[in-house]
Amino acid sequence: MCGIVGYIGKKQAKDYLLDGLESMEYRGYDSTGIAVLDKKSINLAKVVGRVEHLRKAERENPSKGHAGIGHTRWATHGGVTKNNSHPHHDQNKEFYVIHNGIIENYQEIKAYLTKQGVKFYGDTDTEVIPNLISELYKEHGDVQKAFKAALKSLRGAYAIVMITSHDPGNIYAAKFSSPLAIGVAEDGMYIGSDAMPILPHTKQVVFLEDNEGAVVSCNSYELFHIKTDKSIKRPTELLEIEHEAAEKGDYPDFMIKEIHEVPQTIRATMLGRLRADEGIVKLGGLEEVRDQLDYIDRIVVLACGTSYYAGLVGEYLLEEISNIPVEVQQASEFRYRQEPLSRSTAVLVVSQSGETADTIAALKKIEGSGILTLGIVNAPGSTLARMTDAGVYCHAGPEKAVASTKAFVAQVTVFLLIALHLSKNYRNFDKLIAELDSLPQKIEEVFAQEEKIRKLAEKYSTANDFLYIGRRYAYPLALEGALKLKEISYIHAEGFAGGEMKHGPLALIDKNFPTFAFALSNDLDEKLVSNMQEIHARDGKIVVVVDEGKSEAAKLSEDTIVIPKVSEQLQPLIGVVPAFLFAYYAAKRLGRDIDKPRNLAKSVTVE
Ligand code: F6R
């Protein structure tokens, strides 16, 4: 979703702005723009489309100046038009603002400004901000005072950065609920809505907290509290993150590259943690809270989308291996529930980006309650990683495709490691550890069938609907498989637990409504086969994923994908790969924009 960059320093601002926007492209956006301040004039460039189009516009008409702001917009209020894209300015073109989030009371502010004679050119909530600041500037005659006064009137979520011709030596920033960071370097100050754009320039970063604003010059920053105006002293922190650039290499899309990275992702996630030779799982991130963990008798997992499905797999793993009761909830629901939590409950958030607004809000809800908060997060230094008491990073590396693949696998691997780490007398402990060690090799074998899966996906790409079914560990796989297909191919797909078929979904089945079934070996084999029989009897076509040696399910199916056999607890890690490939090739056949599917964003930073 929307991305923010800002710069003030010795260099030409536009270079950082364009590179920074490009590094956040994966988050998803529909339009982009920059505003660059040169002495007293501000040059604005905006396009509907990609940063490459903005670069082209900049080559033709370059912005000059040492301070500037840039934005990638994912439309919320107002259509995808150049007018609605950021930066936005006041009617006199003196104050330019970029904004992530939603100003909830913008209608009220707009009505007030309209009464003052302000004319608006677009439909966004953001446009009220520069106009409000401009009005307040008339009253105060001072940019800082006007900026601070305007912030006090805003309700909602925001990360805001502003430049103005009235104060060319400073950039102004503020945040509530949406992340914002300032990178401090010799050659200037680098602002970003996450650390990605900043990291190539500096690792010295200060993160703004909620209700904080900043006045940033070439070589210093001053923080203040929005409500009290009190100045805040906070030194920079050193981000222990390596800048990892992700390139497509020889792959046509990031998604297929990331699917192929699944085996190496599992290796990276386990590195130094799974000590197969010593028979232990060591998780440094949980060391500090080890004593507290001993008293935990319930874990509530909070997450959204694919991370939520990883949480559902985690529920099975933690309950079976560590014997701890687990409940998984969608963060978007949890945040509005009146649910009593006891102090012996731990809350575990799961997130690839670490910036998902609903998950952040859910975690905020329990802030200060004394409840232990843990994280399974991929993006280092992200908001959720910083907010939790302790956690385990996924180490999946940057995930650029909007559809999450390798991050799901990394999240499930972390759940498995945590479950083993917390287990006391799990009977299959040694077996699982040994098997986990050799799992990446087995997943590599699945890619030997990629061509077959491609053909199957193409064959079924004409379907309008798809059902995904599985039982127990394969049930979350059915949900994840269906999500992947619908989000990138736009084929309607739903996931169900096999046992639920008779309770409704079976009504849908006919020869035009195919099913993707996970029939991997476990002690419910016969039950899933009965569910498949019911589908088969109604002329429903089935594509089945089975493991070696399973034949009953294959007999009922039109098409079969065979994968190596592993223990049931590891099945989600290997079984999901054919589902990823199936969704990818179906979408490819339909000519979809796979890495940036319509209406979706990588980092969902608004509610
Ligand atoms: C699906 C997908 C989304 C995310 C969800 C949560 O492929 O990518 O469903 O999983 O938006 O995002 P994170 O994990 O960043 O909190």
Q: How far is the CA of 407 from the centre of ligand 1 (A)?
A: 9
What does pTM read for this prediction?
Answer: 0.81
Percent share of the chain, pLDDT over 70: 99
The residue to mutate among 307, 353, 378, 402, having the most atoms of ligand 1 within 8 angstroms of its beta carbon, is 307
Question: Contact at 8 Å (CB) between 326 and 297?
Answer: no
Written as six digits, the tokens of 43 are 């040059």
Centroid of ligand 1 to alpha carbon of 558 (angstroms): 32
Band (pLDDT 50/70/90 cuts) for residue 242 is low
Q: How confident is the model over 480-491, as a mean pLDDT?
A: 98
Q: Which residue of 1, 24, 304 sits with most ligand 1 atoms within 8 Å of its CB, as the best mutation to test the pocket?
A: 304
- What's the pLDDT band for 245 if we cut at 50, 70, 90? low
pLDDT classification of 246: cutoffs 50, 70, 90:
low
Structure tokens at 560: 């079969």
Whether ligand 1 lies within 6 angstroms of the CB of 351 is answered as: yes
Alpha helices in 218-287, H assignment, sequence order: 254-260, 262-270, 284-287
pLDDT at 524: 84
**Per-residue confidence (pLDDT) for residue 348, from 0 to 100:** 98
Task: Give yes or no for residue 378 CB within 6 A of ligand 1.
Answer: no
Catalytic residue among 2, 46, 304, 486: 2
134 lines ligand 1 (CB under 6 A): no
CATH of the domain spanning 3-238, picked from 3.60.20.10, 3.40.50.970, 3.30.70.890, 3.40.50.150? 3.60.20.10
Q: Which of 14, 541, 550, 602 is catalytic?
A: 602
Query: Edge-to-edge strand order for the sheet containing 41-48?
Result: 41-48, 31-38, 67-73, 3-9, 188-192, 181-185, 204-207, 237-238
> Hey, what are 1's tokens?
């979703």
Domains 3-238 and 446-593 share a fold: no
Q: Is 487 in the pocket of ligand 1 (CB under 6 A)?
A: yes
pLDDT above 70: residue 32: yes
* Whether residue 177 has pLDDT greater than 90: no
Per-residue pLDDT, 472: 95
Q: Does residue 28 contact residue 600 with C-beta atoms inside 8 Å?
A: yes
Q: In what order do the strands lie in the sheet with 212-216?
A: 88-89, 95-103, 156-164, 171-176, 212-216, 221-225, 231-232
User: Which of 253, 255, 329, 353 to probe ligand 1 with, by most ligand atoms within 8 A of CB?
Assistant: 353
Please say if the pLDDT value at position 40 is more than 90: no
Confidence of residue 550 (pLDDT cuts 50, 70, 90): low
Calpha distance 482→469 (Å, rounded): 9
- Evaluate: CB of 482 within 6 angstroms of ligand 1: no
Q: Is the dihedral of CA 265, 267, 271, 276 positive or negative?
A: positive
pLDDT of residue 201: 96
For this structure, is 602 an active site residue? yes
Q: Can you tell me which atom of ligand 1 is nearest the CA of 407? A: 14
Round to whole Å and give the CA distance between 317 and 338.
Answer: 27
Kindly tell me if the per-residue pLDDT of 27 is higher than 80. Answer: no
CATH topology of domain 446-593: Rossmann fold (3.40.50)
Distance in Å, CA 305 to ligand 1 centroid: 5
Instruction: Please work out whether the CB of residue 373 comes within 6 Å of at least one atom of ligand 1.
Output: no
**Which residues in 226-281 belong to E strands, given as ranges?**
231-232, 237-238, 274-275, 280-281
| Higher per-residue pLDDT: 78 or 95 | 95
> From the CA atom positions of the chain, what is the Rg in Å?
26
Residue 388, φ and ψ in degrees, nearest 5: -85, 155
Are the C-beta atoms of 576 and 408 separated by less than 8 Å?
Answer: yes
**Residue 434: pLDDT above 70?**
yes
* Domain topology for 251-424: Rossmann fold (3.40.50)
514's tokens = 């195919």
pLDDT, tens digit, for every residue of 300-323?
Answer: 999 999 999 999 999 999 999 999
Say whether pLDDT at 474 is over 90. yes
Reading the block at residue 295, the tokens are: 């008293």
pLDDT(541) > 90: yes
Average pLDDT, the chain: 94
Domain boundaries, the chain: 3-238, 251-424, 446-593
Separation CA 417–CA 269 (nearest Å): 9
pLDDT (tens digit per residue) in 79-118: 899 999 999 999 999 999 999 988 999 999 999 999 999 9
